[in-house]
Structure formats: structure tokens, C-alpha cells
Amino acid sequence: MAKALLLENIHPVAVENLEASGFDVELRTASMSEDELAAALPGVTLLGIRSNTHITERVLDSAPDLTAIGCFCIGTNQVDLAAAAGRGIAVFNAPYSNTRSVVELVIAEIISLARRLPEKTQKMHAGIWDKSAKGSHEVRGRTLGIVGYGNIGTQLSNLAEAMGMYVVYYDIADRLAHGNARRMPTMDALLAEADVVSLHVDGRPGNAGIFGDAQFKRMKPRSIFINAARGMVVDTESLREHILAGHIAGAALDVFPIEPKAQGDEFESPLRGLDNVILTPHVGGSTQEAQEDIGYFVSSKLRNFQLQGSTELSVNLPAVQPPALVEGARIGFLHVNVPGVLAEVNNILATEGVNVTGQYLATRGEQGYVVTDVSGHVSEAALEKLQASPHTQWLRGWDA
């Protein structure tokens, strides 16, 4: 029985989905260090992680039985994708499942910071009645600046506009504006116009440290800052200085450069204790609805890869989505992407008298992947010839 190891408190629906398909599943609540992963992964076929577990080349070298990794989150920058692809290990994620949850949190934070609710509720808990409109504003008519206009940024744009906000956005990619949103030519141009700045960029290395002292200085006086993207993109020490100076009126952060590894661990940040600052423990996508959807979605991708050979929505291997295998047999052939490989595969099968009933293929960079369905069974001689090809990375077979 193939083993699946799921870390970081992944939703139980993932366990149920994999167990129903015959996998032996181990669920752990915390992330694992490089040393812990190296010790735990021998014998593991499928690995499920979230954003706090990092899969390095050393970890992959310690995982001889690993065939696929599921990132039960949006990002995949915590995985060395090239190293995984080089070993024929498929990586999957959930690019859309928690979009709404993140957007709703950001909307709530915009309103809370504009009304200075963090301070008001703290005073009430301390027994202080401080009824005042000082520093409290409506968000209607204000300008929201969105840095990163992908799935989350565009949905945030739609909801913010529905509340009466003006929206400007900046993205390095050519993104179509939603509604009445306006594209800005530079991030500096956005910062000069926005009353609220919300970051929604990905975790690529080039985004590290893109928001620091220079960017905070360019924001409008008494503006609001929100980061629900990646912790490493913001200089939190600079943000602290601008909040204390009164230049930034409030901030909300859900992600941090260094985050605790497990529930209950101490959280350290220079932003602790500041007025009108909302700090949340990376829960933008942590709603029951989002986590259940992610759990089912990613576990299904892992299951379909292992049991059917499907690489649909893989972020590092050629994406092939074959239909369900209902009769005959199937061969999955991951190979070096050079001319003539498909002809070689079909020539071997024809020579060995194998009748092909369907074929599905794709290439990605230096790799190609072909899934071939056949009637009956594939002879050992045909499999041996395919395995012996100098272009073979791996060869797997399934029966209906």
C-alpha cells in the first residue's frame, strides 16, 4: 500500500479522499525541518505540505520513493520545482481555491483600519469608553491601490469597487482591468495616488524586499498598508518606523518574513504592540470552506497522478489530462524532450504487437510526457525496450 504523508494540519477531507483510494495516510499538524523530512520521507510516495515546509534538493535526494508533492495552498515557491522536475516528481497546488477567503479578509481589514477598530476594541476590553470619530473614515470614495493583479487582486478589485472605492493597480504582467479599475504605469505612480495599498504578489525570488523604506515614503500621508501576499516582500522594520512617525495610519499583515513552525510557538515581530495594526497568523486562506476545497482539490490531483498518470495542472511537469482508464492498460512515459521520441515509442509498441487505443502528450521545457492507452496488456518485452531508451526518465503502467 502506497504511503502519503500530509503535514501542517491539512484538512481531513484530503485524508478521506486518499484513504478511499487505497493510500496509507499519515497526518501531522506541524511543518518539518530539512533534517526531519530527510528522515521521514523514505517509503513515502505522496507528500502534502502547506507554505511553511520547504522542499530542497537535499530533501528530494532523501526521498527515493516520492512521486508527487501537493502544495495545499496557492504558492509553490517553498518547493525547488526544477529539482523536483529533474527527478520526475510532479508538484501540484491549489491556485484558485482560497481566493475568496483572502479577499474577504482584506476587505474586512480595510474597513477595520479605516475605522480604527483595533484600538477601539482594545480600549473597550480595558474598560475605557472612548466614543469619538477622530481618525475614523468611510472607505467609500477612497482609492485602493492593488500591487499584483492576479486571481486575488482582480477579485479584490471587484469587491472594493462594489463598496464605492476607486481602484488603481500595478502588475508587471499585462493584466486586463476589471470594472473601472485603472492600470498604473509604475508602482510609484500607484503609491502616490492610493489611500490604501494592498500587496498581492507571488513568492518569486525577485519579489523579495520590494517594499521597504523608499516605498513607504512614497505612500500618501496617513494611508493604510496591507500585506496578505508573502512575508519576504516587506521590510517590517521600515513599516514600524513609518507607523510610529504617523506617516502610515494603519497596517494589516497576515504573512511575515519568519513564521513559527507549529501551533503555540512564540511569534516575534517589530510590529507587535503598535496602535491600529492588525496581525493575523497567515490565515488569509484559512476558512473552513477554502481549506476543505483545497484539501479535496490537491488530494485529487495527487490521487489521479498516482493511479491514472494525469499531470493536469502540474506546475513543473508537462500537463497531460488523459480520460479515466476504463479498459485495457495505460503506459506513462516521462522522457527527455528531443525530436523522435514519440515515433520511437510507437515503433516499439507496434513491433511488439501492442494496439494503441489513445495517446495524450505534452512537453514542458526539457521534458516530454506521453500517456498511451492500449487494448489488452503490454508485453514485458515492450516495457523493457521502453525502459531501456536513453530518453526515459520514468516509465509507469496501470491496468483498468
Q: Could you give the residue numbers annotated as active site?
A: 230, 259, 282
Q: How far is the C-alpha of 250 from the C-alpha of 351, rounded, in Å?
A: 71
- Rg of the chain in Å (alpha carbons): 25
Find, among 308, 327, 332, the residue nearest to 376 by Cα.
327
The DSSP letter of residue 221 is: T
Question: In this structure, which long-range contacts are made by residues 27-30, counting pairs with CB atoms below 8 Å and at least 24 apart in sequence?
Answer: 29/262, 29/263, 30/261, 30/262, 30/263
Can you tell me the distance from the alpha carbon of 325 to that of 143, in angstroms, rounded to the nearest whole number?
52
Alpha helices in the chain (DSSP H): 12-20, 34-40, 57-61, 81-86, 99-114, 117-125, 151-162, 187-193, 213-218, 236-244, 288-308, 341-351, 380-388
Residue that the C-alpha cell 518574513 belongs to: 257
Residue 391 to residue 341: CA distance in whole angstroms: 7
Report residue 294 CA to chain centroid gap: 10
Q: How far apart are CA 13 and CA 107, in angstroms?
A: 28
Write phi, then psi, for 258 (nearest 5 degrees). Answer: -130, 125
Q: Which of 67, 51, 77 is nearest to 304 (CA)?
A: 67
